[in-house]
Structure 1
């Protein structure tokens, strides 16, 4: 993989780039948010490894800046802030996954592989998927409801795609973890509920509210709420 590493600690950056190189990846390292913006504009990356605390920008601030320029590759946030609240905040900011320091390099590599596999599956899908007035455009990660439209980040897009493909059927958290995150395990954070809430707010802004929660069971996207 072609990776963009944004990490201001020189020792961590040196260790991580060396380990990733040993695993067969090409890694471009930037120590600041400004450097990452420049590198991102000049190169093409399969994934971004992002430290949450940078000397000039926060990791979440950098995500906002890059996202304003268009679709992002998968983002793995790497941070010494490892509480459940910190992880939820990072995921809410748009990271696709969150790993606390200290980390195991093989776990990090497995998470990157899962993220990029999911990205490849998304881009291989049909150009559009529609249910009533709700349509999803895989070419540019946009969702439309009637005349309103919005850009979705990678996780929001993948969640909505999965729910639309299973419209009017119960989708469990385990199904979403495997189908959207490629996880075969239960993460310590409530990553599914957090991102479903964010997706629901995005759809409500368009005037559409088709996702219902079955407490203790999972979620359903109701097709009759998309007409």
Structure 2
């Protein structure tokens, strides 16, 4: 069943959202503060998040910014009593996928949720390749190329590159990389990640080509279009 996380401190509004989305066959969890909401959202267990802009402990803008920074791409419908255009733009630029102003009609809210879910499902269904500049990763054949030249990647290198490219422009910490690629908790005493990043760089960023993988000192690594 499709799972929705509703982060909303107003109980009346929250019950309205839960009732409406539940009537559409969606499984809805509700939390009433920003800090707990962020913890739930980071888990990645949800297909969509409805997020109030003004929340106790941690506001909605901080939540969506944090989620996008650490690579959580769950669709987010931001809901706010702040209706000015600048606020809407700020929310969308931070990483929100849609913005709904209070008070709202329940059926309109549900319709927007359905659109975001459908859009996200379509993207996942038809995504067959990842691209960053002239670097391409074919998700079907599991082959990589840079500047139309094939790259020979070991299985772990492929998995590492896929994780980087799925989060293009996002700074990924060593902990995030370790848990995603190797599947267990990060050991700060190991240089395993640095060694594999170094090997991957030799293949992805050889002399003569603009480097795509960058080290962000004290934070981790990011792959992005050339500056």
Query: TM above 0.5, one fold?
Result: yes
Match of 1:148 in 2: 212
- The CA deviation string for residues 106-142 of structure 1, in whole angstroms up to 9 with x for no partner, is 1111111111111112212344254862547886424
Native 8 Å contact 1:133 1:146 kept in 2: no
Higher relative contact order (CA 8 A, sep 6+): 1
Match of 2:22 in 1: 21
RMSD across aligned positions (CA): 2.9
Instruction: Give the superposition deviation at 1:147.
Output: 2.7
Q: Unaligned regions of 5+ residues in structure 1, if any?
A: 151-202, 209-227
- The CA deviation string for residues 178-223 of structure 1, in whole angstroms up to 9 with x for no partner, is xxxxxxxxxxxxxxxxxxxxxxxxx9x7336xxxxxxxxxxxxxxx
The structure-2 alpha-carbon separation of the partners of 1:80 and 1:104, relative to structure 1 and needing over 3 Å to count, comes to same
Query: Does 1:86 find its partner at 2:87?
Result: yes
Instruction: Give the superposition deviation at 1:81.
Output: 0.6
Native 8 Å contact 2:83 2:101 kept in 1: yes
Tell me the TM-score normalized by structure 1.
0.59
Aligned length: 155
Q: Distance between the aligned counterparts of 1:130 and 1:62, measured in 2?
A: 28
Larger radius of gyration: 2
- Which consecutive aligned stretches of 4+ in structure 1 deviate over 3 angstroms post-superposition? 129-132, 134-140, 142-146
Match of 1:61 in 2: 62
Tell me the TM-score normalized by structure 2.
0.59
Match of 2:158 in 1: none
- The CA deviation string for residues 78-131 of structure 1, in whole angstroms up to 9 with x for no partner, is 000111111111101110000101111111111111111111122123442548
Native 8 Å contact 2:133 2:226 kept in 1: no
